Every structure is written in C-alpha cells, then in structure tokens.
Structure 1
C-alpha cells in the first residue's frame, strides 16, 4: 500500500501557503466530521448582502490553525516554554473549535435544537474523536474547556484577542469586500508575549490593538449586524421553527433523513445522545437549502412564503431604531396582514416581529487585553490607549428592529 504524504500544503487566499504540521492534524482534517465544515457557511445568510461571502467554516478553521502556529513560534522565540505536547494540543483545540456548528452556522441553535450551543456540540465531537484517536486529544480538550493550568494557552484559543477573532475579522473582511475589517493579524501576533502566565501585547503593538477593536466594531455594524443579514437569519430560523411545528402536527414534509430526524425529535442538551451526534454530523447547509426549495411549493402559507422569500431574496422590510418599537405599530402590521391573507395572529407573527441587536467591541469586565510597557508595567488597553473612542467601544450599543412585509 502506498504511504500517504501527510505534510500537505493549502494555498489560502488570505495567508498564502499553510503547511499541515504533523500527521495527527492531517488525519483530523481528513476526518469526515471536519470535512463536513466545507458544507457549513461561515457567515450564514450574509451572502444575500455581500455576494462574495460564500466561504466556509473549513476555510476559517484552517486559517485559525495557521495563526496559532505563528503565535506559538513567536512566543517560543521570545523564550516562552511550550512543549511539543502543548503545541499539538493548541493546534488541535483551535482547529476543532467550530466543529459543532450546524447549518448556516447559528440558525439551528435557535430553532430546532434547544438549550445546547455549538461550543457544547464541538466538545462532544472532540470527545468522540479522542476515543477514535486513542486519547490524542485529551490535552486539547482540557485547553478548549479552559481547564489547563497555563492560562495564556486558553487565551490563545478563546479570549478578546484570540486566534479565532484574528482570523474571522480578516477573512470575513476579505470575502465581503468590507475593507474596514482588514486587521493586521501578523503584526498583532508578532507583538504577543506572556507575563505571569497571561497573554499580553507589547507596547509597540498598541495601535494594532486599537485598529483591531475599531475594525471589530465596524464589522459588526456593517456586516454581522447588517439589517438585511438580521432579517434573513430570522427568516431562516422561522422556516425551521415552522417546519418543526407542522411536523409535530402530523404534516409530512419532504426532507433529508438527517433534517427529518431533528424535525421529529425534541433535541436539547440533556438528550443529545451518541445517536444524535451521528445524525448531526450528516447535517449541513445543503439539507436546508434543498428542503426550502421543496417547501416553497407547500400548501402551508407560512412555510411556503418564508422559503420563497429566502430562495428568491425577496425579504421582509426591516427598520432599525435606537428605542423600542411601539406595540401599536407591530399590531397594525399584523392586522393588515391577517386581513389581507385571511391568516391567524399566530401565523402573522412569523412575518411581523421585533428584536434587538447589541454591539460591544470590547468588554471591560471580561478577560482584558493587556499592554506590556518596556518598564514592565501592565495596563488594560482602554487605559493604555490615547484613543478616546476605546472607552466608548467598551459600552454596549443596542438597536431595535422591526420586520414586516413590504406591501
């Protein structure tokens, strides 16, 4: 049998050539659970706003692994002691951090599966893979859960300046064409250091951190919380919710076996079994798109119309305000729709609804981004920066939306 060359190279549009560092990483990337990420969109329905945003969780995970390699090399060069086992664990943890995402990234968590996050499902996948790979992922799982004693390693995986954010801001900026999000990830990583087992950024990197936080704020308003993205995501969740509701009433809907399983079962954290994980691993964006193409011709008014809206990008109208929308306005739109199509108030609520979005680029109470001065002094970025905007960026800004049919 021919021996497989496991030291492969990816050609990434963001970073250029990315090398797979060892056979364990190769085998994890090659695994069907990870290959599924090629069929999970990184940015959900955002391609309806920015046509280029068709990149996947697979792209993002490989990019995160590459940045983690760079961060490890930087820290080792600066004298931080990282063993070969710890290095492998960091690479595995960041590679698999998003493996539990469902179709279109977040839609399932808020519709046909309740009380279990994609992080929890990622952990279930990692534990399953750990059995398959004879315990090779034990340390990575410990780090992923934030239980490893070396705090900075957990911060590289999940914090306010982690490899996940460093990749998705730069990658999403590239694929959407929104230049404001284009951070200098390489410089940020070059400025990293460790003091008392905590991650810090050297003083020279202060402006790169400022740019990172401002870029994060702008990307949230312009891309992640774009009003059209919000309404498309809400409609997708309502498609799945309505499909589950109809299935529970005994209506038979054409769907893939994997999607059918989640429509028929009440799935939450307590009953997410090994069998559920097997079925979940077969579910991706294609199941949902295929179902919506079929359901747009269904006799149910709600299901068919919402599916048609998404498939043909004929979405609801959405208005954003700085204060809550009056209940009278909501009822006016609902009453009009009920009379026009002879539907119930419950059915009308699928097309007329309100909600809120919040943008907070930096959380002061959470893990800090600390700046290390040449004198050895360490200070939070908000205090260290002469950029007055940073204090404002640490305050949450909330906006309220209302969605209703265009007519």
Structure 2
C-alpha cells in the first residue's frame, strides 16, 4: 500500500492556499490527462496583447475546484444537505470540466478535429478515467451531464453564475492586468443559497451580481474579444487549416507525431475511440508552437507567411465595424493580394476575410440568475435589479470584422 500523503496544500496567487482534501482528487490531478493542462494556455493567443496572460488550464481547473469547495461549505452551513459523495462529485466534475481543451484552448477547437467541442471531449476523458478508477467518477459524470436529480448541482458547474465563470474572470483579470474584470467571488459565494432545488443569490448580494455581469462584459471586449487577440486566433486557425490541406494533398510537414495524426485524418466525435483519445491527450501548445516555428520556412507561401505572423507577432490588420463589410471592397482586396504575391484567389482568402463577434453578458432567454427576495419571492436578476443597464447587458452586441494584410494599407485600398 502506498505511503504517499495525498492530502496536499497548493499555493495559488489568486486565493492563497488551495487544499486537496480527497485521495481520489489527488490521483486525478496526478493523472497524465490532467497534468497535460499545464501545457494548455487558458487565454489562447491573448499573451500577444497582454504579456502576463501565460497562465494555464491547470491553474484554472484547480481554482474552480477551490471555489466549488467554498460554495459547498457555504450551502451546507445554510442547511442545504450535501453528502460527502455529492461534494466529491461536484469537486471532480468542476475539476475536469475543461480537460477536453485542445492546444491554445478555443483557438483550436474546430481545426484539429471536425467540429467536436471541448465539452464533448471532456466527457470522453471523464468516461475513460471512470473506467481506470473503477467507476468512482460515475456520480460526477451524472452531475456534469445534468442527469442527477438535484438541479442546483448542475447550476454550480454550468450556468450563468457557475464556478467556472467565478474563477476565470478573477484569474484572467489578474494575469492579463485588465482590472475591470476583477470580481468579488468571495461575496458572491457567501450570498449563495438553494431554494426549491434552484441555486439562488440572496437579495443583499444583488449588487455583487450586477458587478459580476458588468465585469464579464468588459472582460470580453477588453480581453477575450480584443481585436488583436481575435486576429491572432483566426490566423492560428488558418495555419492549421492550411497545414491539414497540404498534408491531405500528400505533402509531409515537419511536426510531432500526435499533430501529424490529426493533420492526416478527419476525426469526428464517432472516431474518438481510446486510441484516438490517447493521441489527443499527447497534444498541447508546444506541439503547435514548435510546428509553426518550422513551418515559417516552408515552401508553401500561405503556410510560411501565416506562421511567420504568429512567431514574430506581425499580424494581419483587423478592423471592427457596426455594419457588415462591403463585399465589393473585400473582392477587390483579395484580387490585389492575389496579384501582389502571385497566389490564387482561393489562397488569398487566407489573408483577406470577414466575420463577426458577439458579446452578451447576460442571456435572459437562458437559465436565469435567480435572486431570492427577503419575502421568499424568487426573481430573475434583470427584473430584480434597479439598474437599467442590466437589461441592456442582456441584449447581444454584434460587431463585424475584416482582416487583411498590412500591405493593402500601402496600396491605399483601405
């Protein structure tokens, strides 16, 4: 029998000390699937805008587990019955909720695999770990999938005021230096309660919820949807798309074996057997960066130029507009790029393109954030708040972008 002490204390820059209070959770953290998250960046390419944003999914997952522990303590103190098994399941579910992220998090979600979300891959990892650990994750998986009869437990893991958002806003704000995203997660947790099996915030915590929603909106515009971050992630996605295109046409590109596998094969959710999952588990940010460092010298102009942009932070220009970009202007720009570099118009699509981004701090049509009034009435926070701007925050704001080569500015086409 192992004599290893599995009850550990970790030091975290956000919360101070984080406790691992269960041997199973220690073993899950030690597993290679979870340790891989040390090599997956939390904020994708945002470090090209905010140099401090180099923290990882590993940091975030541990932070989420810590916040969940605090939330469970508060709810139990207020008389909500939560068994030891349920508490362990909640901590495991939130600890593993992001384990399916690919390299550079969201940037790679649909370029390495064929439209398979990280949530689905997370569930595949959880099922595989459940086999390895003799079914000890069964309740956590049930809660994660929303199949457990206690509704508030799913809300703690996935809702508009869940432990995931509670950690990433505070953590990403800290590492990026975007102070507007900082939230008072401690007070929000202290104000939590359960009413008729629904997670609620007590009325005196309403201003903390308002601050949380405003902070979320500001973090999206200033960090996650910062135009330079958006441009970098779009370039990264196009690099993988081009690499896959070249590989499947018979060209061998220098890269790691796991990356080579996903470039050669079209992998959908149905293809994710244990072998494919094992290969995916070997992929991380280092595979991508080391490949791009090589590809910047490739004979293919498109792949080399896009790779050089990321390595040297010499990115495409991006402009945001309230209206959709002019199609005639886009066509003219693509023709100019084609002529300038002697490439086809299809290849010019890699350097001139359009799209849109959307920011919605609060979704009124989704599961609401419930406020528990002193008289026992439960209301949607947007109705309970006296802040008019909270209703405005529930309306999605869409901005249209246009990406193009800097050389087009010199041609006075923009």
- Fold-level similarity (TM above 0.5): yes
Q: Distance in 2 between matches of 1:273 and 1:388?
A: 50
Shift of 1:396: 0.4
Matching residue of 1:140: 140
Matching residue of 1:18: 18
Matching residue of 1:5: 5
Q: Distance in 2 between matches of 1:376 and 1:107?
A: 44
Matching residue of 2:358: 358
Q: How does 1:79-158 map to 2 (within 5 A)?
A: 79-158=79-158
Instruction: Give secondary structure in 1 for the equivalent of 2:153.
Output: helix
Cα 1:248–1:179 change in 2 (3 A) is same
Q: How does 1:177-256 map to 2 (within 5 A)?
A: 177-256=177-256
Shift of 1:329: 1.3
Q: Distance in 2 between matches of 1:230 and 1:333?
A: 20
- Structure 1 gaps of 5+ residues are none
Q: Distance in 1 between matches of 2:372 and 2:163?
A: 19
Shift of 1:112: 2.8
**Structure 1, residues 278-312: CA drift from partner, whole Å, max 9, x if none?**
10000000000000000000000000000000000
Q: How does 1:42-57 map to 2 (within 5 A)?
A: 42-57=42-57
Q: Distance in 2 between matches of 1:183 and 1:398?
A: 25
**Structure 1, residues 62-111: CA drift from partner, whole Å, max 9, x if none?**
00000000000000000000001100000000000000000000222221
Shift of 1:2: 6.3
**Does 2:285 match 1:310?**
no
Instruction: Give secondary structure in 1 for the equivalent of 2:356.
Output: strand
Which runs of 4 or more aligned residues in structure 1 lie more than 3 Å from their structure 2 counterparts after TM superposition?
Answer: none
Q: Distance in 2 between matches of 1:309 and 1:57?
A: 25
Matching residue of 1:332: 332
Instruction: Give secondary structure in 2 for the equivalent of 1:10.
Output: strand
RMSD over equivalenced CA pairs, Å: 0.8
Q: Distance in 1 between matches of 2:394 and 2:357?
A: 16
The farther-off stretch of 324-333 and 109-118 is 109-118
Matching residue of 1:262: 262
Q: Distance in 2 between matches of 1:17 and 1:88?
A: 19
Q: Distance in 2 between matches of 1:142 and 1:241?
A: 35
Instruction: Give secondary structure in 2 for the equivalent of 1:401.
Output: strand
TM-score scaled by length of structure 1: 0.99
Instruction: Give secondary structure in 1 for the equivalent of 2:109.
Output: helix
Q: Distance in 2 between matches of 1:283 and 1:182?
A: 31
Instruction: Give secondary structure in 2 for the equivalent of 1:212.
Output: helix
Matching residue of 1:369: 369
Q: Distance in 1 between matches of 2:46 and 2:165?
A: 18
**Structure 1, residues 305-342: CA drift from partner, whole Å, max 9, x if none?**
00000000000000000010000111121111111111
Q: Distance in 2 between matches of 1:282 and 1:110?
A: 17
Matching residue of 2:412: none
Matching residue of 2:398: 398
Q: Distance in 2 between matches of 1:367 and 1:9?
A: 35
Shift of 1:170: 0.3
Q: Contact 2:45 / 2:232 at 8 angstroms: preserved in 1?
A: yes
Q: Distance in 2 between matches of 1:287 and 1:256?
A: 6
Instruction: Give secondary structure in 2 for the equivalent of 1:136.
Output: coil
Shift of 1:271: 1.4
Q: Distance in 2 between matches of 1:2 and 1:277?
A: 29
Q: Contact 2:295 / 2:304 at 8 angstroms: preserved in 1?
A: yes
Instruction: Give secondary structure in 2 for the equivalent of 1:206.
Output: helix
Q: Distance in 2 between matches of 1:228 and 1:395?
A: 24
